[in-house]
């Protein structure tokens, strides 16, 4: 069920807890990615302000703590987190022994993330994990076992799928459920898929108003994960969430990954220094340095697959920096028997995601437009202010700016959903099977791109 507003007020989440007696106590495990801090960009009434952090010492941890301190010190809507930090190589053992909270947040180096998730769940913690929860087939096998453990122990394991909160994505999903406009989802072919998702990311970016410093291990695909198992997790999730909403998928029989490939982004030593602050490549990256002296990072990839007979394609691209005025971009296409729904985010859209509807029903343009406007008018009950305008041979949805709250704020929305699940004591029935379906898709794509498993 889509919330009626994108407001971040914590009152969205119902809970018996009070500020004096919070039901949820967060524990942050070895934070190595800025996503760990974004879970705490806002306060939640049912979450204790005291957060215990267990980590190895080093710059990743200090960067995380500085971001939290920045949230606490900001002039507008400051937070008041109280970080209790343990620094030591035995951080995992201490976390399990002390059990200082009941929800572990995991966002960092992905090489051991599946292990960390498994150990936390086995110890009886709920886990809110950044994507990806698995980056190769061996991880997927362990993740399957971990979900079985979570069910046996009555704890909730959930991954952070922020793209479900993007307004154009929500409206694309909603329009795809209007048969009078969209018809039904076509099956397509591998050469001409019915669903296509493309994500373009950039190493050089700003987060929370500051230039992001990347950890050097981020450029080691053995630690970060390659394109499809990493960022592609979001795309595989959206294929399922938009194309098969509320349906329970079975990874054993509903998915056939038919092809996959990978290719590198080349970073000069100067670019690497600008991103990490290091004057040279660490030893673990030197095997990825090409003959020209540049670092070859295999963080680009694509996969084609069939999901319940529907042909889908996902593609992830990493560049050093975006064009002037641009940012990370998302492209999404769903092709129905009556309409094609397409999200574009290019210079033509001034780099803002825009949802287009293209008539392929055979009906006259005026008749199709009338049906589309009627459907959008119904959606406007939930999303006041959305409208339709002509855009050449297609129509574009006009979405009020108040709904474009940005990627960082989506982390709070995911957290709020998770807190509601904790209060209910369960996830929606389709969530766990579909998480398994998603990670089976991405890790099988990895396997196809690595003949012999290398």
**Residue 56: band (very low, low, confident or very high) from pLDDT cuts 50, 70, 90:** very high
How far apart CA 370 and CA 301 sit, in angstroms, is 40
Per-residue pLDDT tens over the stretch 77-110:
999 999 999 999 999 999 999 999 999 999 999 9
Mean pLDDT for the chain? 93
pLDDT at 19: 40
55-to-93, 109, 379 alpha-carbon distances in Å:
11, 12, 45
- Tokens linked to 327: 């940012």
Q: Which domains does the chain have, with CATH numbers?
A: 10-161+409-428 (3.40.50.720), 164-405 (3.30.360.10)
Per-residue pLDDT tens over the stretch 216-230:
999 999 999 999 999
Is the link from the previous residue into 452 a cis peptide, with omega within 30 of 0?
A: no
pLDDT at 453: 56
**Residue 272: band (very low, low, confident or very high) from pLDDT cuts 50, 70, 90:** very high
Judged against a pLDDT cut of 70, whether residue 7 lies above it is answered with no
> Cβ neighbours of residue 14 under 8 Å, at least 6 residues apart?
420, 423
Beta partners for residue 21, in sequence order: 18
215-to-57, 274, 283, 322, 437 alpha-carbon distances in Å:
14, 12, 14, 20, 30
Judged against a pLDDT cut of 80, whether residue 15 lies above it is answered with no
How far apart CA 193 and CA 235 sit, in angstroms, is 14
Per-residue pLDDT tens over the stretch 20-41:
467 999 999 999 888 999 999 9
Over the range 51-84, which residues count as b (16 or more CB within 10 Å of their CB) and which as e?
A: bbbbbbeeebbebbbebbebbeeeeeeebebebe
Q: Are 229 and 445 in contact (CB under 8 A)?
A: yes
Per-residue pLDDT tens over the stretch 220-258:
999 999 999 999 999 999 999 999 999 999 999 999 999
Mean per-residue pLDDT for 294-321? Answer: 97
- Tokens linked to 1: 């069920």
Judged against a pLDDT cut of 90, whether residue 119 lies above it is answered with yes
Q: Are 159 and 232 in contact (CB under 8 A)?
A: no
- Tokens linked to 447: 């396997």
pLDDT at 149: 98
* Element (DSSP H or E) covering residue 177: none
Per-residue pLDDT tens over the stretch 172-209:
999 999 999 999 999 999 999 999 999 999 999 877 67
How far apart CA 119 and CA 114 sit, in angstroms, is 9
pTM of the model: 0.92
Q: What string of DSSP letters covers 71-116?
A: HHH-SSS----EEEEEESTTHHHHHHHH---SEEEE-S-STTHHHH
Question: φ and ψ at 274, to 5 degrees?
Answer: -65, -35
């Amino acid at each position: 069920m889509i919330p009626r507003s994108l407001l971040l007020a914590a009152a969205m989440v119902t809970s018996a807890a009070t500020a004096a007696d919070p039901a949820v106590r967060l524990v942050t495990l070895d934070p190595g990615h800025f996503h760990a801090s974004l879970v705490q960009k806002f306060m939640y009434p049912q979450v204790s302000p005291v957060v215990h952090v267990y980590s190895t010492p080093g710059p990743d941890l200090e960067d995380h703590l500085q971001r939290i301190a920045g949230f606490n010190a900001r002039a507008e809507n400051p937070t008041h987190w109280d970080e209790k930090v343990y620094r030591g190589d035995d951080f995992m053992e201490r976390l399990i022994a002390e059990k200082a909270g009941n929800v572990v947040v995991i966002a960092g180096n992905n090489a051991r993330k599946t292990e960390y998730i498994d150990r936390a769940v086995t110890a009886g913690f709920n886990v809110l994990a950044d994507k990806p929860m698995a980056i190769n087939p061996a991880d997927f096998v362990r993740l399957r076992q971990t979900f079985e453990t979570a069910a046996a122990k009555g704890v909730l394991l959930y991954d952070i799928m922020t793209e479900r909160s993007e307004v154009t994505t929500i409206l694309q999903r909603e329009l795809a459920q209007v048969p009078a406009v969209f018809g039904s989802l076509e099956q397509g072919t591998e050469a001409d898929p019915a669903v296509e998702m493309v994500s373009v990311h950039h190493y050089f970016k700003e987060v929370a108003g500051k230039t992001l410093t990347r950890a050097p291990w981020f450029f080691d695909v053995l630690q970060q994960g390659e394109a499809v198992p990493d960022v592609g997790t979001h795309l595989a999730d959206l294929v399922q969430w938009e194309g098969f909403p509320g349906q329970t998928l079975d990874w054993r029989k509903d998915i056939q990954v038919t092809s996959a490939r990978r290719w590198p982004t080349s970073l000069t030593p100067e670019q690497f220094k600008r991103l990490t602050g290091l004057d040279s490549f660490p030893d673990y990256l030197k095997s990825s340095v090409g003959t020209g002296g540049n670092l070859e990072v295999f963080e680009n990839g694509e996969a084609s697959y069939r999901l319940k007979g529907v042909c889908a394609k996902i593609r992830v691209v990493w560049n050093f920096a975006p064009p002037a005025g641009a940012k990370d971009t998302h492209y999404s296409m769903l092709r129905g028997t009556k309409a094609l729904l397409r999200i574009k985010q290019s210079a033509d859209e001034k780099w803002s995601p825009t949802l287009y509807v293209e008539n392929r029903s055979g009906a006259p343009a005026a008749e199709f437009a009338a049906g589309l406007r009627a459907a959008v008018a119904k959606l406007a009950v939930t999303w006041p202010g959305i409208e339709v305008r002509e855009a050449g041979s297609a129509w574009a949805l006009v979405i009020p700016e108040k709904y474009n709250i940005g990627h960082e704020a989506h982390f709070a929305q995911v957290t709020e959903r998770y807190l509601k699940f904790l209060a209910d004591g369960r996830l929606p029935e389709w969530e766990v099977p579909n998480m398994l379906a998603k990670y089976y898709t991405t890790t099988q794509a990895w396997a196809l791109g690595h003949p012999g498993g290398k």
